[in-house]
């Protein structure tokens, strides 16, 4: 597993706030099997792939993870089984009824216990289960980064309205690919491991890695 060097960032207010492996916690909010049926703003297989990619990135960087579900004994259903299996030892909060996860004391306690001040979050649905805790966390002084392609909702209108609402309060929007590279910062550490991570989680990136491996392993004479 990649163990990044600790880096001290400049504190100039004019610089954008960058994700730090030393200060980030990852929240998976209501990625439940019943709620997945509501995600119509991207193809279902692509959405699931993005959620699991976010999970594998969190594991690669050894980030603390907090997972929560809402009313999972009802129609919302259980947490996505692949995600739950990936983080067997993570804090897991099954909320009995609170719609905003930040209204649940155990969830907030689990987040605060990590000691991290940067929140990376995704969930279902974007304008409720993501936006509500994002706005609450921002109000408490957290830096919040929303992984847009690992969050889903009914349609583009619902998604865009949620993005605007979160952005105007200070949330940063990014994708799992941007999340990973902002955490990573430099290709030169563990390049092989990092390439293998993308090879595993991205069908789009796999041909690039295949090309790199072919050139790396080729006889120099074959390249003439």
Task: Give strand ranges (E) for 140-224.
Answer: 143-147, 172-174
Q: What was the pLDDT predicted at 189?
A: 85
Q: State how far the Cα of 26 lies from the Cα of 116, in Å rounded to an integer.
A: 10
The domain segmentation of the chain, as residue ranges, is 24-185, 186-224
Q: What was the pLDDT predicted at 2?
A: 45
Architecture of domain 24-185: 3-Layer(aba) Sandwich (3.40)
Q: What was the pLDDT predicted at 222?
A: 56
| Burial (CB count <10 Å: 0-12, 13-18, 19+), residue 123 | buried
- Dihedrals φ, ψ of 167, to 5°? -60, -40
Q: What was the pLDDT predicted at 214?
A: 77
Q: What was the pLDDT predicted at 23?
A: 98
Q: What was the pLDDT predicted at 208?
A: 81
Strand partners, 152: 124
Q: Which of 25, 65, 125, 129 is catalytic?
A: 129
Mean pLDDT per block of 10 residues along the chain (224 residues) reads: 47 70 98 97 97 98 98 94 97 97 98 98 98 98 98 98 98 98 92 90 84 71 53
Specify whether 39 is catalytic: no
């Amino acid at each position: 597993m990649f163990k990044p060097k600790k880096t001290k960032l400049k504190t100039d207010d004019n610089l954008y706030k960058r994700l730090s492996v030393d200060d980030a916690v990852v929240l998976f909010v209501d990625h439940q099997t019943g709620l997945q049926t509501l995600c119509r703003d991207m193809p279902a297989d692509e959405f699931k792939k993005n959620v699991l990619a976010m999970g594998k990135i969190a594991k690669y960087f050894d980030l603390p993870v907090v997972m929560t579900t809402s009313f999972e004994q009802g129609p919302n259903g259980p947490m996505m089984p692949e995600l739950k299996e990936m983080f067997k030892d993570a804090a897991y909060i099954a909320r009995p009824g609170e719609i905003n996860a930040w209204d649940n004391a155990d969830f907030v306690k689990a987040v605060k216990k990590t000691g991290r001040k940067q929140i990376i979050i995704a969930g279902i649905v974007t304008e409720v289960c993501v936006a509500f805790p994002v706005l609450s966390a921002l109000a408490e002084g957290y830096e919040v980064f929303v992984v847009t392609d690992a969050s889903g909702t009914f349609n583009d209108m619902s998604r865009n309205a949620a993005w605007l609402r979160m952005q105007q309060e200070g949330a940063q929007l990014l994708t799992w690919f941007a999340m990973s590279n902002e955490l990573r910062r430099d290709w030169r550490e563990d390049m092989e491991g990092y390439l293998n991570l993308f090879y595993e989680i991205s069908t789009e990136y796999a041909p690039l890695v295949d090309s790199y491996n072919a050139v790396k392993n080729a006889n120099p004479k074959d390249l003439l």
